[in-house]
Amino acid sequence: MSDAASAHHPKDLAHHFESYEQQKQSSLLGMWAFLAQEVMFFSGLFVCYVVYRGMYPEAWALGSQELDWKLGALNTVVLLISSFTMVYAVVGAQRGNRKMIVWGLILTILFGGIFLGVKVVEYSGKWEHHLVPGPHFEWHGDPAAGKEVEMFFGLYFVMTGMHALHMVVGIGIMLVMIPLAWRGKWTKNNYNFVEGFGLYWHFVDLVWIFLFPFLYLLALAGGGGGH
Amino acid sequence: MSMPPSNMSPSAEAASSQAGTTRSGLAEAARPPREHYLNAGYGIKSWLLTTDHKRIGILYLLSVTFFFAIGGLYATAIRLELLTPQGDLFQPDTYNRVFTMHGVMMIFFFLIPSIPAVMGNFLLPLMIGAKDVAFPKLNLASWYMYMIGAGFTMWSLMHGGVDTGWTFYTPFSSTYSNTYTTATALGIFINGFSSIFTGVNFIVTIHRMRAPGLTWFRLPLFVWAHYATSLIQVLATPVLAITLVLLFLERAFRIGFFDPAIGGDPVLFQHLFWFYSHPAVYIMILPSLGVISEIIAAFTRKAIFGYKFVAFASIAIAVFGFLVWGHHMFVSGESAYSALVFSVLTMLIAVPSAVKVFNWMATIYRGSIEYSTPMFYALGFMGLFVIGGLTGLMLGTLGIDVHLHDTYFVVAHFHYIMVGGAVMGYMGALHFWWPKITGRLYSGFFSHLSALLVFLGFNLTFFPQFVLGYMGMPRRYHVYPEEFQVLHVLSTAGASILAVGYAIPLFYFLYSLKYGAYAGRNPWGAVGLEWQTTSPPPLHNFHEMPVVDFEAYEYKEAPVAERQPYRVVKYGL
């Protein structure tokens, strides 16, 4: 590569790409491949859930009754709104409107924060009622089911915890993105990071769409099913 | 001043080198390129903060060599202990840690990253005519993840290691083991990211970064094999990650997942573990299959027979590889019905593997065979891979597996695949592309010698283990009945030869860095984009970005009358 050629290489096009299109398609395909990885990560948890629900349907129903489906539904709505505000940020990036990006991200962080706040309320309630698995776990219902209900809560905390962890990471990334967006880091030609991050955020949203009925609505649906 | 780019078409260059006098090759041999990736920057920062895929490949080369040596030391300890029927060297507890750390080091820190992260990193962009992989920073991050993961594992190793076996079966690992299981599991968890990052990078690189004209069916089979490998890395590794998280939570907080005492199901752990770890076997072997295709084409001067079949066989192996994990649990209480299904699927995966071997043989047939060191490794690979694969079929047969499960027969089987297959492929790759990586030729005599020692030593080490296992010697025991001693002594003797075989390249490779003859662009007269650029390649791989107007493996076959059935390559010292 001659020096003349590199001088014409635009700043927002990485040195190893030939065109914006190539850069964009690479970035998005990379994100989809990463999300495929995420799907497999969560699917390990869902397999555990399905196997043990099949083994202990009554305990799953009992555990699910301890969860407040109204808070879960509220969080579902909050998270869907945050996906909408994320789209707002991505559209802003497409139009090269940095104000839209920044406001979209701020609102997304806000709704993400509300979600996590509700989660904190739920978690602390479980802590107070001794429903956190471990030495302090107490079960006042059918004593025969105690161990199995504890497993339900084990999976509840791991599944929602892993989901919440993804949200915390996402909010951390958005906090870094805001000043960068304001300084004009993303251009009309290269806003791939914003779009890729949007995909990530929608994915995290989608995981919750599965978690909500699996965990909260189980009891409403008439118990653990199966037997 | 940089070297003028070669205007020769690759086939013309291959033809000229095939004629015996490498016109461009000889001219260049005296004169290495003025600028290349190795002198593009100096100092520790230019290495530790590099985003150049070639330098990251070198970082990986140094680190996997180090961990191979550590794993090798543990192997040495195992073989020394098994020299006698009594437990002379270690307490039973210590022996458990020794074989565990051997497995952990070799699998997670050597075999998984060996060919993809070293050779794949270095070669993929060169082979497809790109300046770099799609995500250079992610590539560097992958190496750091690898090193951090290795750091945790080394920490636990220095504090006594782990005694669960590399498989971490629960509830022993989650409840009873008093060793540093958590640190090791954390190390493997973090190391998993390195594998995922490499996989994501390769998938995108192969899809989006190919040079103009380089269609999917013009890709070298090395690239196809790495594409298949990457699919497994991306889709299987996260399942191990979440399994290790659950293992950690059960161990730390006694939350019931896998321990039956608190409601869990230990067989579920085995399902999840092998859902990763069986496809992981194909992460280790698929890149080797790609390497062998390259070597065989180059040293028989022929296009690979049935290119498309070999390419799709890689994909088929990756797909089938996801569906056979249950054959590890034939005696773990898996239902007879699912055992039957897994047994049949295990038989099926032999088909694409055999397609590859048959096609290589058809390629060699009537080829103009050149007995170079890489070809030694490729031929050795074919024999050992067939033995490893066929014994795998025996183990996939339900009735036989009940007899052979957890015996040395299994140990011998997977070492034939992992060492006889994956490591032979890795060594072959290193010898084939060393002139490209360093720009230097290595000793012909010593590399031939070491390849022969590796082949002989390997067979002497592991063939007796088939017999041992068939006679009933269980794996993971350090004391055994006296009638097994002869075979164990043979195996240990073989291991000593193998160790010498592995040690010799260390010397001649290092020696070649300073004293080796200059390799020129294309010392083997091979086709493929990586051979068109200078050796070592320039920072951005090509002086002029290549356009591909030729098919894969477009070797011009010499007329039958001029064909030499046997040629010894003139290279090196």
Chain A interface test: which of B2, B131, B208 (most A C-beta within 10 Å): B208
CB contact under 8 A, B208 and A22: yes
CB contact under 8 A, B256 and A151: yes
pLDDT above 90: residue B381? yes
Nearest CA to B311 out of B418, B209, B226 is that of B226
Residues A57-114: pLDDT tens digits? 999 999 999 999 999 999 999 999 999 999 999 999 999 999 999 999 999 999 999 9
Closest CB from B234, B242, B265 relative to A51: B265
Chain A residues in contact with B3 by the CB 8 A cut-off are none
In a domain, B514, yes or no: yes
Residues B185-202: pLDDT tens digits? 999 999 999 999 999 999
Residues A5-57: pLDDT tens digits? 455 788 889 999 999 999 999 999 999 999 999 999 999 999 999 999 999 99
Q: How high is the pLDDT of residue B70? A: 96
Cβ B266 vs Cβ B321: under 8 Å: no
Total domains in chain B come to 1
Count A/B contacts: CB-CB distance under 8 Å.
120
Chain A residues in contact with B234 by the CB 8 A cut-off are 33-34, 36-37, 40
Burial B444-470 (b: 16+ CB within 10 A, else e): bebbbbbbebbbebbbbbbbbbbbbbb
In a domain, A147, yes or no: yes
Residue B235 touches partner A, C-beta closer than 8 Å: yes
Q: The tokens 């195992």 sit on which residue?
A: B78
The number of helices, as runs of H, and strands, as runs of E, in chain B is 19, 0
Q: Read off φ and ψ for residue B440, nearest 5 degrees.
A: -125, 155
Q: Read off φ and ψ for residue B570, nearest 5 degrees.
A: -95, 105
Distance (Å, whole) CA A199 – CA A32 = 8
* Domain boundaries, position B399: 10-562
Distance (Å, whole) CA B552 – CA B555 = 9
* Domain boundaries, position A198: 19-216
Q: How high is the pLDDT of residue B246? A: 95
Residues B17-50: pLDDT tens digits? 443 334 344 444 446 677 899 988 899 999 999 9
Q: Kind and range of the H or E element at B100? A: helix B92-104
Distance from CA of A33 to the nearest CA of B (A): 6
In a domain, A1, yes or no: no
Distance (Å, whole) CA B173 – CA B177 = 5
Residues B439-474: pLDDT tens digits? 999 998 999 999 999 999 999 999 999 999 999 999
Cβ B298 vs Cβ B214: under 8 Å: no
pLDDT above 80: residue B174? yes
Closest CB from B234, B237, B268 relative to A48: B268
In a domain, A5, yes or no: no
In a domain, B1, yes or no: no
What distances in angstroms separate CA B249 from CA A164, B254, B331, B561, one per listed residue? Answer: 17, 7, 27, 70
CATH number at residue B195: 1.20.210.10
pLDDT above 70: residue B146? yes
In a domain, A180, yes or no: yes
Cβ B502 vs Cβ B72: under 8 Å: yes
CB contact under 8 A, A44 and B242: yes
In a domain, B377, yes or no: yes
Q: Kind and range of the H or E element at B482? A: none
Cβ B277 vs Cβ B240: under 8 Å: yes
* ipTM exceeding cut-off 0.90 for this assembly: yes
Distance from CA of B271 to the nearest CA of A (A): 10
In a domain, A221, yes or no: no
Residues B512-549: pLDDT tens digits? 999 888 888 888 889 999 999 998 999 999 988 899 99
Highest mean pLDDT: which of A137-151, B24-38, B114-128? B114-128
Residue B136: both structure tokens together: 């250079």
Distance from CA of A122 to the nearest CA of B (A): 19
User: If you write DSSP's letter for every residue of B428-439 in order, what string do you get?
Assistant: HHHHHHHHHHHS
CB contact under 8 A, B241 and A41: yes
Which three-class secondary structure state does DSSP give residue B351?
helix
Q: To the nearest whole number, what is the mean pLDDT of chain A?
A: 91
Distance (Å, whole) CA B522 – CA B530 = 9
CATH number at residue A53: 1.20.120.80
Cβ B360 vs Cβ B382: under 8 Å: yes
Distance (Å, whole) CA A183 – CA A203 = 27
Closest CB from B138, B249, B272 relative to A44: B272
Q: How high is the pLDDT of residue B4? A: 40
Residue B254 touches partner A, C-beta closer than 8 Å: yes
Distance from CA of B262 to the nearest CA of A (A): 7
Residue B264 touches partner A, C-beta closer than 8 Å: yes
Identify the band that residue B565 occupies on the pLDDT scale cut at 50, 70 and 90: very low
CB contact under 8 A, B256 and A48: no
Q: How high is the pLDDT of residue A136? A: 85
**Span of A124-128, B3-7, B394-398 with lowest mean pLDDT:** B3-7
In a domain, B572, yes or no: no
Distance from CA of A70 to the nearest CA of B (A): 27
CB contact under 8 A, A43 and B254: no
The structure's pTM equals: 0.92
Nearest CA to B290 out of B528, B41, B17 is that of B528
Q: To the nearest whole number, what is the mean pLDDT of chain B?
A: 90
The arithmetic mean of pLDDT across residues B281-301, rounded, is 95
Closest CB from B204, B262, B271 relative to A29: B204
User: If you write DSSP's letter for every residue of B118-184 in order, what string do you get?
Assistant: IIIHHHHHHHHT-SS-S-HHHHHHHHHHHHHHHHHHHHHHHTT---STTTT-TTIIIII--S-HHHH
Q: If you ran DSSP here, which 8-state letter would residue A191 be given? A: -
Distance (Å, whole) CA A14 – CA B260 = 53
Chain A residues in contact with B207 by the CB 8 A cut-off are 25-26, 29
Distance from CA of A37 to the nearest CA of B (A): 5
Total domains in chain A come to 1
pLDDT above 70: residue B369? yes
CB contact under 8 A, B136 and A16: yes
CB contact under 8 A, B263 and A150: yes
pLDDT above 60: residue A181? yes
In a domain, A8, yes or no: no
In a domain, B137, yes or no: yes
Strand partners, B518: B440
Distance (Å, whole) CA B84 – CA B78 = 11
pLDDT above 90: residue B566? no
A20-55 helix and A57-65 helix, angle to the nearest 10 degrees: 110
Nearest CA to A49 out of A159, A149, A133 is that of A159
CB contact under 8 A, A158 and B237: no
In a domain, A153, yes or no: yes
Q: How high is the pLDDT of residue B406? A: 94
